[in-house]
Amino acid sequence: MTHVVVAAWPLLLGMGLLMLGGGLQGTLLGLRATLEGFPPSVTGVVMACYYLGYLGGTVLAPRFVQRVGHIRVFAAFTSMASTAILLQAVFVQPLFWALLRLASGICFAGIYVVAESWLNDRATSRDRGSLLAIYMVVLYVGLGCAQFLLLLADPRHATLFMLTSVLISLALVPTALSVQPAPEFRMPAKIGFRELYRGSPLGVVGVLIAGMITGTLFSVGPVYARLSGLDTRGVATFMGVSILAAVLTQYPIGRLSDRMDRRTVIAWVCALASLVATAVVVLREPPLYVLFPLAAVFGGLALTLYSLALSHVNDHLEPSQMVAASGALILLNGAGAAIGPVIVGFLMEPFGAQAYFASLAVLAGLLALFDLWRKARRAPVPAEQKGPFLSAQPQAASGRMVAGAAEDRARAAEESS
């Protein structure tokens, strides 16, 4: 395992820097939009454009990589993403920001395709799961720590936009200077949504709702924090604890779902997340020593839902379907992430900041109810047919590392049969 990490460290370092830049960018834009007086509905649409671009990028990027290679694609998309955030500092206007968010989504999707293809090629079936876990920790820690970079300067000024651009640009350096050869690239196979739903209705609905929840958390969370009266330090802390909590919860919740009916774990996670979000709404204006722990608990629970739903889908697939399914699930999750911020942003205009946690409570509660309904209609997956928990970060990973892990499982299943 050590030699794999040593071989992959330039890319892991680059992705850590990219997460610092990307995490700062998302929160900075949401906060700055609120400070500029953008209505919550407009801010929701602007922030959701990232995920629309991300959907397009997941389709376009593999074709670019196949045509011109990993390094060129990584360099081009990194340069474009760095430029986009600088232009947003110059032209503070909703329509222009929306277009640039769309471009950023395309660029980040392309970067993830390259990075995960590279990591997937370096890993073997023995250490892929461990490398995937390290990769997820790097992403979450980078995103979480990025929130506190807000404290370095006034978000009304261009300084933080320039810092974001610098971090994104630096992410290219370790990868470009790596002596490791670029991997061969294969276009991903495809599988239909209808076929996936027939195999695992709960998994498919879970992936969609997980996208809506996490898209709302990342995009509208800063808006909620600011409208609730928090200053820049408060916004950074609110977002930071919401994201960093997931570093602590992914493994234990995933291991628990491997040992019992995964649907039961999903139901409990959703129910608890819904109760926590409801508590914030009921308290209306909780003190910070109550709000921040509740935000951490909600984030720690909600950010495991995508991995749980993804693992549940894989439990119901044939080995030959697992790799093809990852692409469809990524698109479905991205669609949810684009829809969530728009809906919640529009709800926040008439109902105020409380609509944020109220919407999250409803989404988590609906998934819990759907889970219980599915449990009543289908027996659990036998323990011997369950695959291992696949830790994956929504709206960041392109799914290639997860697909690689699924491919290992498929190969093992075929060999054992």
**Tens-digit pLDDT profile for residues 117-143:** 777 666 665 665 667 777 878 888 999
Tell me, what's the pLDDT at 409? 58
**Tens-digit pLDDT profile for residues 160-179:** 999 999 999 998 888 777 64
Tell me, what's the pLDDT at 397? 47
**pLDDT value at 190 more than 70:** no
Picking from 19, 36, 21, the residue whose alpha carbon sits closest to that of residue 223 is: 36
| Calpha distance 74→65 (Å, rounded) | 9
Q: How many domains does the chain have?
A: 1
Tell me, what's the pLDDT at 14? 85
| Structural domain that includes position 21 | 2-416
Tell me, what's the pLDDT at 194? 81
Please report, for the domain that includes residue 122, its CATH number: 1.20.1250.20
Q: Distances from the Cα of 19 to the Cαs of 134, 139, 140, 338, in angstroms?
A: 14, 6, 8, 20
**pLDDT value at 333 more than 60:** yes
**Tens-digit pLDDT profile for residues 287-328:** 999 999 999 999 999 998 988 888 888 777 765 566 667 677
Residue in the block written with tokens 């036998």: 382
Question: Model-level pTM?
Answer: 0.86
Dihedral, CA atoms, 398, 401, 402, 405, nearest 10 degrees? 160
What residues contact residue 285 under an 8 Å CB cut-off, 6+ apart?
228, 229
Mean pLDDT of the chain: 83
Tell me, what's the pLDDT at 313? 81
Tell me, what's the pLDDT at 354? 93
* Sequence letter at residue 3: H
| 403 in Cβ contact with 220 (< 8 Å) | no
